[in-house]
Amino acid sequence: MTPELMIAGVMLVALVLYTLTGGADFGGGVWELLAAGPRKDAQRRLIDDSIKPIWEANHVWLILLIVLLFVCFPTAFAAVCTALHLPLALMLVGIVLRGSAFVFSHYDPLHGRGALRWGGVFAVASLLTPITLGVVLGALGTGFDVDRATGLVDTDFLSEWLAPYPLAVGLFTLALFAFLAAVYLVREAEDPELRADFRARALGSAVAVGATALVAYLVAPPVIRHDLSVSPWATPLHLATGFAAVTAIYGLWTRRDALARASAMAQVTLIVVGWAVAQYPYLAYPGYTIAGTAAPASVLTPILVALAVGGLVLFPSLAYLFVVFKRRRAA
Amino acid sequence: MTDLLAARAQMAMSLAFHILFAIVGMAMPLLMVIAERLHQRTGESIYRELADRWSKGTAIMFAVGAVSGTVLSFELGLLWPQFMAFAGPIIGMPFSLEGFAFFLEAIFLGIFLYGRDRVSPRVHLLSGVMVLLAGTASAAFVLCANAWMNTPTGFTGSPAAGVTGVDPFAAMWNPAAFSEVLHMTCAAFASVGFAVAGIHAAMLLRGVRRELHRPALKIALAVGAAFALLQPITGDVAAKHVAEHQPIKLAAMEGHWDTERGAPFRIFGWPDEQAEETRWSIEVPYLLSFLAHGDPRAEVVGLKEFPRDERPPVAVVHVAFQIMVGCGLVMIAVAGIGAVFAARRRELPAWYLRLLVVSAPLGVVAIEAGWTVTEVGRQPWIVQGILRTADAVTPTPHLVIPFLAFTGLYVLLGVTVIVLLRRVVFAADRRQAVPYDMSDRTSAEVPR
């Protein structure tokens, strides 16, 4: 295995972990926005309490991903940032608003009254990030040609992402994050009625995940459909994803919440891995491959060592954080 | 507004905004750990309340710092893709390590802020120390990456031909790294210490909760003053370094046009770039030669040695440098007076409290001015002598739109943070004045 492939593997792990943690945080934003019924405030409080201590740490996966991209695949990073400037900028706006909205709503002693009444804007804006993240990931599958004259990406700054397929992937991502968040919240809620609220939401969003996935497949350009099925891994991956999805719904339906959560996490992981397998060996199709854009080995090898050493410090700390805040407290 | 100017404006605005929050995330953990340690040692609840109150403000500032930092890491590519395509691999090591340090900082901040009831006191204090160490390390790594732009080393190749070989550690420990890390780290602690001391001095002048604000002021002022008094030393290291490695930046800082021996140090003055002279300045003979090279007769290179298209905007750099040094000198004086009071164990008089209120923003102003010096002073280069800023900018059109959008967003955030901090600070004082069981419900009546 080449060093650039190992780095790409680490980036995939970071993307999976960001989806499972940060993605669910954004999904929580969706449910905060859609909070309704007699337990509206309790729903919001549960979401706030679940996300607050881990939001910052969850968020660093995205930073790690972007840093590895610009350090190890610099020309791909430059091309992606150039062609996808607009969706990336919108994604950042969503991150900024969502990240600050947490602390603002949590620490405001007046609870959003007075001068901060427009705080609801934050929640609406938090839909931006899942959609644009999906748009970006969907867009990487087509249209990144290298301009032979300049050596830079040949782009009109719109056509790579302003197309049915990336937009459908954006909606799919939003549904997926909302689904994941609802499944987590079923497990986090201690009040049975609150648990029932989120169980209903989880089942509803599971339907939305299926529907948006179908739409994305139907509008996918031929090259994407080809990529989705060409790898020998594709069929087993699709089957496993489907199995995980069905198990998650079964778990929710029969109130096996731990099973539902594990299956939903497996489902999301498999979806991201499936995307990566379809994308391989391209970072951005067709001009930018993993091998073709990799930095020299003198960069990659020390970074791999740093990642290994950093991981030794990071993972125990991260595990400790989740144990402290996510272990069910003895009643 | 040209696209290049819009990109530079957006980058400058984003950095200026982020720095305000980054320094708080760096320095506040020190104040909180001190308060927490005092609480654990003395058992006095006032220190615990102090640690809790500081942690609220810190959580707000840290969250905004984290998201604005995320924006910056993307903006490197959104605005300067050709810079990153070239420099990304070379300065990848400090950026990757910064990623880990920031990760640890976020993890332990979560435990420190929200985990008091869930972990033992020892672990709680230790997680505060981890936040402090990881936060400072993360800033140091970013500073190493920035220092590389001033003194690029550790690679073979060029932006046009591509990078062929990299020595990541030589790039990270580039010549400017040490002095930049030292000067900026001390600046962060000094300016946050002064800002916090100013807030508590204002509360003392209002006469509320003396038993809380007095120890708070002592801790903040002790930290702020100690680092402010260190700044002339770290500044001297930085200046001597700039004189050696970036003589044109030093010349711009000083508005120094002609190469000469025994060069004077200019106070105030306005550099005229057309006439190539600095007017209306007070000149202190031989001082610049001494400060830059440790010898009053040493030769200091002037701006005229360099072609016009390689000179930075001299007036901006010179004025920013004057502001930074001016703020720093006042802070040193204020710190010195405070040290005298402390040595004599005297109560701080009202006039000194007022002085602290007035000097609260000085450190922050000095930091913004100092970054203006180092960043504008490197122009027209984005990587000194290697890559011009104009050649690094993205081909994306209409860059004025994202510039305006992000400026609007940050103005909104800034205003919200100010309103919120005022509420948090004042609501906490007010709560003591109302009956305990009403404290939450009366929140609507708290004056803004």
Blockwise average pLDDT, block size 10, chain B, 448 residues: 90 94 93 93 90 87 89 90 90 90 88 87 92 94 94 88 85 91 95 95 88 92 94 91 90 88 88 85 86 88 89 92 94 94 88 94 95 93 91 88 91 87 71 41 37
Question: Judged by CB atoms within 8 Å, which residues 268-287 of B form the interface with A?
Answer: none
Q: Could B405 and A93 be called an inter-chain contact, meaning their C-beta atoms sit closer than 8 Å? A: yes
- Higher-confidence residue of B403 and A144: namely B403
Question: What's the average model confidence in pLDDT over A28-54?
Answer: 83
Q: Do B396 and A72 touch (CB under 8 A)?
A: no
Give chain A positions within 8 Å (CB) of B169: 302
Long-range contacts of the stretch B248-251 (C-beta < 8 A, 24+) = B248/B301, B248/B303, B248/B305, B248/B306, B248/B310, B248/B311, B248/B312, B249/B150, B249/B312, B249/B317, B249/B373, B249/B374, B249/B377, B249/B378, B250/B292, B250/B300, B250/B301, B251/B300, B251/B301, B251/B302, B251/B303
What does the pLDDT read at residue B435?
A: 39
Between B426 and A255, the higher pLDDT residue? A255
Three-state SS sequence of A85-145? HHHHHHHHHHHHHHHHHHHHHHHCCCCCCHHHHHHHHHHHHCCHHHHHHHHHHHHCCCCEE
Determine whether the interchain pair A74/B89 forms a contact, defined as Cβ–Cβ distance below 8 Å: yes
Under 8 Å CB pairs connecting chains A and B tally to: 223
The overall average pLDDT reported for chain B is 88
Query: Cα dihedral sign for B395, B2, B68, A47?
Result: negative
Q: Which of B28, B410, B416, B430 would you mutate first to test chain A, the one with the most A CBs within 10 A?
A: B416
| Overall fold of domain A3-306 | Formate dehydrogenase/DMSO reductase fold (1.20.1630)
Pairing of strands B162-166, B155-158: antiparallel
On whether any CB of chain B is under 8 Å from the CB of A96, the answer is yes
Residue ranges of B 355-394 with Cβ closer than 8 A to chain A: 394
Report pLDDT for B445.
Answer: 37
Q: Is A110 close to B64, i.e. CB distance below 8 A?
A: no
Q: Where does the pLDDT of residue A265 fall: very low under 50, low under 70, confident under 90, or very high at 90 and above?
A: very high
The helix/strand/coil state of B383 is: strand
pTM of whole model > 0.80? Answer: yes
DSSP string, B117-166: TTS-HHHHHHHHHHHHHHHHHHHHHHHHHHHHHHS--SEEEETTTEEEEE
Whose CA is closest to A63, among A294, A314, A268?
A314
Output the pLDDT for position B448.
32
Evaluate the CA torsion angle B250, B253, B256, B262 in order and state its sign.
Answer: negative
Min Cα–Cα distance to chain B from A156, Å: 9
Cα gap B382→B376, rounded to integer Å:
10
Spatial separation of the C-alpha atoms in residues B150 and B148, rounded to whole Å: 5
CA-based nearest distance B121→chain A, Å: 14
User: What is the rounded CA–CA span in Å between residue B124 and residue A85?
Assistant: 42
Pick B60's closest partner by Cβ from A53, A103, A115.
Answer: A103
Q: Burial, A300: exposed, middle or buried (Cβ in 10 Å; 0-12, 13-18, 19+)?
A: buried
Average pLDDT over residues A72-99: 90
Tokens of B157: 């190749």
**pLDDT for the residue B427:** 65
Q: With contacts defined as CB-CB under 8 Å, which chain A residues touch B439? A: none
Show Cβ contacts of residue A135 under 8 Å, excluding neighbours closer than 6 positions.
Answer: A87, A161, A166, A167, A169, A170
Q: Are A94 and A132 in contact (CB under 8 A)?
A: yes
Query: How far away is chain B from the Cα of A328, in angstroms, using its nearest Cα?
Result: 11
- Residues in B closer than 8 angstroms to A97, CB to CB, are 409
What's the pLDDT band for A114 if we cut at 50, 70, 90? low
B 131-170 residues with CB below 8 A of A? 163-169
What pLDDT, on the 0 to 100 scale, is given for residue A120?
66
Report yes or no: A102 at the B interface, CB cutoff 8 Å. Answer: yes
Put simply, whether B97 touches A (Cβ < 8 Å) is: yes
- Arithmetic mean of pLDDT, A234-243: 89
pLDDT value at position A46?
A: 86
Residue A329 has pLDDT above 60, yes or no: no
| Continuous H helices in B151-259 | 168-172, 177-206, 210-245, 247-254
**Cβ-nearest to B63 among A74, A99, A307:** A99
Can you tell me the distance from the alpha carbon of B55 to that of B114, in angstroms, rounded to the nearest whole number? 10
Asked if B96 lies within 8 A of A63 by C-beta distance, the reply is no
Contact between A116 and B119 using a beta-carbon 8 Å cutoff: no
Highest mean pLDDT among A152-156, A314-318, B436-440: A314-318
Cβ A63–B99 below 8 Å, yes or no? yes
Least confident of A53-62, A256-265, B61-70, B194-203: A53-62
**What are the boundaries of each domain within chain A?**
3-306
What is the chain B residue with the closest CA to A323? B118
> A29 to chain B: which residues are within 8 Å by CB?
none
**How does residue A166 score in pLDDT terms, banded at 50, 70 and 90?**
very high
B408/A contact by beta carbon, under 8 A: no
The set of residues, in sequence order, having a beta carbon less than 8 Å from that of B353 and lying 6+ positions away, is B201, B202, B204, B205
Interface contact flag, B420 A107, Cβ < 8 Å: yes
Give which of A156, A299, A304 to mutate to test B binding, by max B Cβ within 10 Å.
Answer: A299
Which positions in chain B touch A45 (Cβ < 8 Å)?
Answer: none
Do B100 and A313 count as a contact with CB atoms less than 8 A apart?
yes
